[in-house]
């Protein structure tokens, strides 16, 4: 999908929209009727992307010059990585605006985590809510007063035009290309996957639309999820999020909104057995579960290199034999295995999940028994 849509028209795709041809022309309106669960809104928003670009550059600048972290203006002049089709050099005024923005992020945000900093979570959500606005002060349109701190508003409104001229078109194209690739997988597998995951976690899939902010860059893991409200951010250019893996990343992140029963059950069993609550067992379990649920439905790549998938069964806690594949038969490698997460301190978790959680996924034991056995093995 190569056409460009002005900033006033961000991408918003629901499952129903995904059933339609993914052709967007300037001024096109998205079908407001949303289909069955799960419903995702896939956004390519200007301010969210600018925010992550500034954060990334500020973090890189801090890492490259740690001795100057306390002196935002002395660590070397930041330079926006311009797109190949953009003007090569920034003007003096553009360079100054970009330098000021990176320096502001360096001084105020570079030491904070996008996921765990309440301030950054609120800022991200606010920028997403105002993504249709051309500026954030409300000077041109009163409803576009985002209510941000005056200095931050000034910084973003000054850096916005620089980003729009030199980088935004390329970032937006990358986001749209990612959305175009993942859309067929969501259309074919989304409903079955949402039912299966909700059943596994003994929860309900969110009834509200799940917002997914697609950004050229995100955090160091390539994707993160914030709660209340549930919102997912995924980096469209991250190598870990491409191809059929995009579907796993999308549903892994969305699962953070329904996996509370697992966290609670692990904590409850640990308290009853007077054991310390393991910090990352629940997260390893989500990685493992999403990978195991995705793996049986992914077919081998065809000769053209496009991913084909086998529909997943949507009923019961146990997939039907026709829908299941063994690990040996499947050529799809789950994210956690591919990225070596189980070799980075999760070796014991992987063994427990294989021995005690996998039987639950296959319908051989109950949820409570699986959790109890895993905690006993800690």
Q: How far apart are CA 274 and CA 277, in angstroms?
A: 9
Q: How confident is the model at residue 263 (pLDDT cuts 50, 70, 90)?
A: very high
Reference 195, options 314, 298, 295, 296; nearest CA is: 314
Q: How far apart are CA 217 and CA 224, in angstroms?
A: 11
Tokens 């289909």: give the residue: 35
Instruction: Quote the pLDDT of residue 326.
Output: 42
- CB–CB of 309/241 below 8 Å? no
Average pLDDT over residues 222-229: 94
- CB–CB of 202/317 below 8 Å? no
Global pTM reads 0.79
The mean of the pLDDT values for the chain is 81
Q: How far apart are CA 194 and CA 255, in angstroms?
A: 9
Instruction: Quote the pLDDT of residue 67.
Output: 56
Q: How far apart are CA 87 and CA 89, in angstroms?
A: 6
For the segment 287-302, what is each residue's pLDDT rounded down to a tens digit? Answer: 999 999 998 877 543 3
Instruction: Quote the pLDDT of residue 129.
Output: 94
Instruction: Quote the pLDDT of residue 86.
Output: 55
Instruction: Quote the pLDDT of residue 266.
Output: 95
- 264: CB partners within 8 A, 6+ apart: none
Domain locations along the chain: 45-173, 259-376
- What is the SS3 assignment for 258? coil
∠ CA 364-365-370 to the nearest 5 degrees? Answer: 135
Alpha helix ranges (H) inside the chain:
15-18, 46-64, 92-108, 118-129, 150-163, 169-200, 245-255, 260-272, 281-294, 335-338, 347-352, 358-361, 367-376
For the segment 168-180, what is each residue's pLDDT rounded down to a tens digit? Answer: 999 999 999 999 8
Share of the chain above pLDDT 90, in %: 63
Residue 11 has pLDDT above 50, yes or no: no
């Amino acid at each position: 999908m190569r056409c460009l849509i002005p900033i006033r028209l961000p991408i918003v795709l629901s499952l129903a929209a995904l059933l339609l041809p993914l052709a967007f022309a300037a001024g096109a309106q998205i079908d407001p009727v949303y289909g069955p669960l799960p419903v995702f809104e896939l956004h390519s928003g200007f301010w969210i992307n600018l925010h992550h670009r500034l954060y990334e550059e500020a973090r890189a600048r801090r890492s490259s010059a740690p001795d100057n972290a306390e002196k935002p203006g002395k660590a070397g002049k930041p330079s926006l990585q311009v797109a190949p089709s953009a003007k090569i050099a920034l003007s003096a005024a553009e360079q100054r605006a970009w330098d000021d923005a990176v320096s502001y992020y360096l001084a105020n945000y570079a030491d904070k985590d996008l996921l765990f900093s309440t301030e950054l979570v609120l800022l991200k959500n606010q920028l997403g809510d105002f993504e249709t606005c051309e500026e954030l002060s409300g000077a041109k349109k009163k409803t576009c007063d985002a209510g941000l701190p005056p200095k931050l508003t000034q910084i973003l409104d000054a850096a916005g035009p620089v980003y729009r001229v030199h980088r935004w078109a390329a970032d937006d194209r990358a986001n749209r290309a990612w959305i175009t690739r993942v859309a067929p997988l969501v259309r074919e597998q989304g409903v079955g996957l949402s039912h299966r995951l909700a059943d596994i976690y003994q929860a309900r899939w969110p009834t509200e639309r799940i917002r997914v902010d697609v950004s050229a860059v995100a955090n160091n893991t390539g994707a993160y999820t914030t709660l209340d409200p549930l919102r997912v951010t995924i980096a469209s250019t991250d190598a870990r999020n491409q191809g059929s893996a995009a579907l796993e990343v999308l549903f892994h992140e969305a699962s953070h909104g329904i996996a509370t029963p697992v966290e609670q059950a692990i904590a409850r069993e640990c308290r009853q057995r007077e054991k310390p609550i393991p910090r990352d067992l629940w997260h390893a379990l989500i990685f493992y579960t999403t990978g195991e649920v995705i793996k049986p439905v992914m077919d081998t790549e065809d000769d053209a290199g496009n991913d084909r998938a086998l529909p997943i069964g949507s009923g019961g806690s146990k997939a039907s034999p026709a829908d299941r594949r063994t690990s040996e038969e499947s050529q799809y490698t789950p994210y956690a295995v591919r990225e070596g997460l189980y070799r980075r301190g999760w070796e014991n978790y992987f063994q427990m999940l294989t021995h005690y959680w996998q039987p639950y996924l296959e319908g051989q034991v109950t949820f409570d028994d699986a959790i109890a056995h895993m905690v006993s093995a800690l």
